[in-house]
Amino acid sequence: MSVIAVIGAQWGDEGKGKVVDLLAQKARVVVRFSGGDNAGHTVINPYGKFALHLIPSGIFSSQAVCIIGNGVVINPAVLIDEIDQLNQRGVDTSRLFISDRAHLIMPYHILLDGLEEESRAGKALGTTRRGIGPAFADKTARLGIRTGDLLDKEVLLERLHLILDGKNIILTKVYGVSPLSLDEVYSQYCQYGERLAPYIRETTIMLEEALNREELVLLEGAQGALLDPDFGTYPYTTSSSPLAGGGCLGAGLGPTRISRIIGVFKAYCTRVGGGPMPTELKDETGDLIRERAHEYGTTTGRPRRCGWFDAVAARFSTRINGFTGAAITRLDILDSFPRLKVCVGYKLDGQTIDYFSGSIATLEKCQPIYEELPGWQAPTTNVRQYEQLPVKARQYLTRLEELIFCPIDIISVGAGRDQTIIKVPIL
């Protein structure tokens, strides 16, 4: 067996949770490797409907060990709440482990995320305000506090003392808000530590052991490639790498271990927050997609920006991730459109370009060049075999396959676990 990475190929919210939930049936380890509780992975299975923010979507599979990797930033309050909610609904969380190297989201990160966004006024990034950016900034600045620090109260106090003084100067002198109390934050995080201690481990050993036993390990991505801080629409990005390469760093695996990389694409595009999105439809077609698909953020409830499939962005995503296969989700949302459009290039200052620029100013100016395809105008939600899909739906998928440079393995035609067409068996 091997390591399969499930990666968001667009701007997040592609349906990675469903794909992981599906593959987790055979996996022995599932690792979340990036982001934090900015993610919202919706899973609908025999236990009911869940929106997971931190716990890997593999938690519903009775044989899978679930790891929150070192690359994740953890808000302990959110994690404890998520554990409690799962337990209350009959889901066992005794197979959950947290890397002792994962950084913690602290109260000042959340405060600063909001204050920084407000200070950007009209140029706000549209973050989820969960403290993600400030927590990753502190990790890089070597001012972070890690889950492992929760296991030793003296270490925690010393670290918090050192860091909180500086944060309070920023809070009071730069933003003019009240300082945070060392005693309060410390006692709160001591309580979190007591509650989370049984889950905190050195987790890379667990991965190595699973691979030595030739078991299947899944890397569960969060967000999407176009939100990557290097390759996404910087600065309108998140702060950790959602790419397959980020999976190695955020889980503690060598790149040679990954054997398959599944890129998860919606059959159209969505984005939440600011930044360029060349195929955004600010018209009734965009509204129709949003309402039909209920495109509202799982974490923030914000309406998502909707548009046609952008094959230029998709091909870029395949290139920087090295996808070996694709999962196309939400195909059913397109069921009733008489005609569909796919962006195959951009018009820029009178020229045609076929690459996803690194400059947001350039991307803002890009006008999509569309190829039109006939819609199939028939329901697909009950289809389970590829051959049973309407011919025009297969034509649409075949065209996407050609354009994204990657074969389609999985097609999702509804939120339920069973509403899935396995075109090429992965396991």
Q: Which residues are catalytic?
A: 13, 41
Beta bridge partners of 280: 307
CB 311 → ligand IMP: shortest distance, Å?
A: 20
Considering only 127-135, 171-179, 246-254, 364-372, which stretch makes contact with ligand IMP by CB under 6 A?
127-135
| Length reported for the chain | 427
Beta-carbon-side half-sphere exposure of residue 248 (alpha carbons within 13 Å): 11
CB 79 → ligand IMP: shortest distance, Å?
A: 16
Residue 98 in the binding site for ligand IMP (CB under 6 A): no
List binders of ligand IMP among 270-309 (CB under 6 A).
Answer: 272-273
- Residue nearest to ligand IMP as judged by C-beta position: 273
Looking at the Cβ atoms of 167 and 305, the one nearer to ligand IMP is: 305
CA distance 218 to 294: 28
Looking at the Cβ atoms of 83 and 227, the one nearer to ligand IMP is: 227
CA distance 223 to 271: 10
Asked if 47 and 60 touch (Cβ cutoff 8 Å), the reply is: yes
Computed from CA positions of residues 76, 81, 82, 84, in that sequence, does the dihedral angle turn out positive or negative? positive
Considering only 91-99, 122-130, 336-344, 373-381, which stretch makes contact with ligand IMP by CB under 6 A?
122-130
Q: What are phi and psi of 140, to 5 degrees?
A: -70, -35
CA distance 256 to 250: 15
List binders of ligand IMP among 369-398 (CB under 6 A).
Answer: none
3-state secondary structure of 338: coil
Residue 105 in the binding site for ligand IMP (CB under 6 A): no
Asked if 232 and 7 touch (Cβ cutoff 8 Å), the reply is: no
DSSP-derived letter for residue 172 is I
Place of tokens 């595009």: 269
Nearest Cα to Cα of residue 126 among 112, 139, 114: 114
Residue 128 in the binding site for ligand IMP (CB under 6 A): yes
Residue 80 in the binding site for ligand IMP (CB under 6 A): no
Nearest Cα to Cα of residue 189 among 109, 128, 254: 109
CB 297 → ligand IMP: shortest distance, Å?
A: 7
Looking at the Cβ atoms of 160 and 264, the one nearer to ligand IMP is: 264
- DSSP assignments along 77-126, one per residue: HHHHHHHHHHHHTT---TTEEEETTPEEP-HHHHHHHHHHHHHTGGG---
Residue 227 in the binding site for ligand IMP (CB under 6 A): yes
CB 103 → ligand IMP: shortest distance, Å?
A: 14
Residue 57 in the binding site for ligand IMP (CB under 6 A): no
Nearest Cα to Cα of residue 224 among 1, 7, 5: 7
List binders of ligand IMP among 1-20 (CB under 6 A).
Answer: 11-13
Asked if 153 and 193 touch (Cβ cutoff 8 Å), the reply is: yes
Residue 127 in the binding site for ligand IMP (CB under 6 A): yes
Residue 133 in the binding site for ligand IMP (CB under 6 A): yes
Looking at the Cβ atoms of 296 and 386, the one nearer to ligand IMP is: 296
Residue 38 in the binding site for ligand IMP (CB under 6 A): yes
Asked if 404 and 265 touch (Cβ cutoff 8 Å), the reply is: yes
Residue 149 in the binding site for ligand IMP (CB under 6 A): no
Each residue 234-263 as x (binds ligand IMP by CB under 6 A) or -, in order, gives: --x-xx------------------------
Residue 318 in the binding site for ligand IMP (CB under 6 A): no
Strand 258-266 versus strand 3-8 pairing type:
parallel
Asked if 106 and 223 touch (Cβ cutoff 8 Å), the reply is: no
CB 238 → ligand IMP: shortest distance, Å?
A: 3
Considering only 21-29, 120-128, 155-163, 209-217, which stretch makes contact with ligand IMP by CB under 6 A?
120-128
Residue 39 in the binding site for ligand IMP (CB under 6 A): yes
Looking at the Cβ atoms of 39 and 331, the one nearer to ligand IMP is: 39
Interface residues with ligand IMP (CB under 6 A)?
11-13, 38-40, 125-128, 130, 132-133, 222-223, 227, 236, 238-239, 272-273
